[in-house]
Structure 1
């Protein structure tokens, strides 16, 4: 997601390298320039999941996606569409493409070098941007709908050397793509219609989403720094009761860079008051062709430390080491807090971008095979679970 890659030779090497190599970091594609303004690109990735406690050892296809970017003196735009299926964790489907959806698709107008307006399926400007740390797997913020989320609407952005202001109104979340889930066939996680397998699931539709983010750039001793605040408010329309609830979220963040060292911290509060027919302590969210419950009220804490090794070592370059901890502390009595710790490394090996991560989670729907549908609600496995996650990608 952060560096372009070479275009040609790895495509021929892909069948040989997909098996032994590990995790690909999702970076901007080294796109093919079609015109002076339009670039087309994409990527193909494989993944490895290893967890001996679950007798899990899977190696196979991860995703294929296509990208387009347009940039002229006045007009800008970008789109990205992803294809999944057939291989773990989508091995319940028959073919690649049985699960597919847009990540983003928007057009924009530049008023000048500092100000622009975007419209379409746009990344939500909340908290650290574009991600809450250095990891490929992302933090618990991504599964409670705050990190790496996309909605449909308009966004105004104004940036200069000192300030970064973004304000957006979204009419609705991303449209459902192609898959098996009633409400979770999207890339970014958002409020969703629960699938039948979600006990105590809800059916809320989010609308009129207002988001604002203001960040200040400054020097703190030797640290090039950014500090910011974010706020989100929306309406939750319950499809069973016909009544409206609401969602509120607030965050403060800090990012510091000192040579090869980088530190990122974030604290956020999410508070939802759904008009569910039953309990208001849970709201169903969904993404990646699945739905699960999330505690309606809680605090998110994230801390990330990374170190970038200088230099190049033969084919190996861009080595970055990192550790990231996130915690979702829930308000409801009897609900267990969710925690996630990730230690890993990302690097370039020849024409490939690679990442390898050790996942360590508790009450985490994506680590350890606990309760996928309830871990972010009342809780799942009471013990810390571990998994090795890796993926490799060639970007063209």
Structure 2
């Protein structure tokens, strides 16, 4: 066993011991301010690529402020010095804010948030039950953030969220030209991206309207979302556009959960080269995405009731997502994830078997072209686990 593996195993053992000894909670600094964070590790196993790594994943810090009227939240993440960032020297060489905003409550049902917030689009907060997330994440619709104003209102069974973002999320620390963010968004391509583009996304308008329901033992919500923005090409000085729309639904019956989403994304960039592609980026990398296509997501989950000693919150799930590209010469992207998540004391653990086809993040295919023209076009597999101590 290598020195690194021995060290990481010791870290995991220490986390486990600490986790079984106490309960995790944010530190209450005052009656209104809580500080917290997490230390997480990851396991990646893919025998086809001779990949077997137990490594540091991330360290993040959070702050939450809440009063009757004023609210605020921030979360900052640190990566580096471990797979897949082995090209960096230390933790923190890759670092960025996930969110940072200040808000005001007009009433208990209405509030305004200003700053870097998650865009209100589709299934919230994620397009399913998985930790690894769906293809919606890597085409810039799931769990992504921008800077601007977000209004939230709830009345009875109706929930409305509307936002205007003049600019995308702030670039953090890293080596990428345009991928130094947590959420995936339109980016300036790195030089290694063939047919990469340099678009800046501005004037982002997003709206989401959902209605909750209860019927015959079932409960959930149905909703619709719309996003529009301007794509300012830095090479041609001409503006293109991005439009995305989605319908979503959730259903819960006892321990069983269902989620579904259908979305359309259509981009008309003014690139100097191929207008069928738009470069996106996140997590210190950039890659191409087909300009036009449909996204489909289906998620099935089952939550085991009760607690079993230190074990609780056990959830089993399966999630399938498909990015069906308009361009006939492009190969569609698919992702299927089967997994489980649970708490062991204050440790939260996810264990997932990943299956991907023309997926930039699974199986070592073409990172830069899988979501564009396509990659190897055959199914790749990988075992992934994330384990974290939250405080």
What secondary structure does 1:111 align onto?
strand
Deviation at 1:17, TM superposition (A): 2.4
Q: Tell me what 1:8 maps to.
A: none
Residues 181-220 of structure 1 correspond to what in structure 2 (within 5 A)? 181-220=176-215
CA distance in structure 2 between the partners assigned to 1:214 and 1:73 by the alignment = 25
Which stretch shifts more, 155-164 or 74-83?
A: 155-164
Partner of 1:246: 241
TM-superposition CA deviations, 1:94-147 (whole Å, max 9, x none):
100000000000000000010000000010000000000000000000000000
Q: Structure 1 residues 19 and 87, CA, compared in 2 at 3 Å: closer, same or farther?
A: farther
Partner of 2:92: 97
Query: Residue in 1 aligned with 2:328?
Result: 333
Q: Secondary structure at the match of 2:87?
A: coil
For this pair of structures, how many residues does the alignment match?
378
Deviation sequence 1:292-317 (CA, Å, 0-9, x none): 00000000000000000011112111
Equivalents in 1 of 2:295, 2:201: separation in Å?
21
String of CA shifts for 1:353-373, please: whole Å, max 9, x gaps: 111000000000000000000
**5+ unaligned residues in a row in structure 2: which ranges?**
1-8
Pairwise mapping of residues 208-357 of structure 1 onto structure 2 (< 5 A)? 208-357=203-352
CA distances 1:299-355 after superposition (whole Å, capped 9, x unpaired): 000000000001111211110000000000000121000000000000011221111
User: RCO higher in 1 or 2 (8 Å CA, sep ≥ 6)?
Assistant: 1
Q: Distance in 2 between matches of 1:381 and 1:206?
A: 30
Partner SS state of residue 136, structure 2: helix
Runs of 4+ in 1 over 4 A off after TM superposition: 18-21
CA displacement at 1:159 relative to structure 2: 1.3
| Match 1:391 to one of 382, 386, 391 | 386
Offset at residue 16 of structure 1 (A): 4.4
What runs of 5+ residues in structure 1 fail to find an aligned partner? 1-12
Report the TM-score when normalising by structure 2. 0.95
Q: Is the 8 A contact 2:16 2:347 kept in 1?
A: no
Q: Deviations over 1:16-43 (max 9, x none)?
A: 427999xx9xxxx721000011000000
Once the two structures are TM-superposed, the CA of residue 220 in structure 1 deviates from its matched residue by 3.1
Alpha-carbon distance in 1 for matches of 2:105, 2:338: 39
For 1:160, which of 151, 155, 158 is the aligned residue?
155
RMSD: 1.5
Secondary structure of 2:329's partner?
coil
CA shift digits 1:126-185 (9 cap, x unpaired): 000000000000000000000001000001110133010011000111111000000000
When residues 88 and 18 of structure 1 are mapped into structure 2, their CA distance, relative to the original with a 3 A threshold, is farther
Equivalent residue number for residue 6 of structure 2:
none
d(CA) in 2 for partners of 1:168 and 1:105? 15
Q: Contact 2:347–2:389 at 8 Å: present in 1 too?
A: yes
Q: What does residue 28 of structure 2 align with?
A: 33
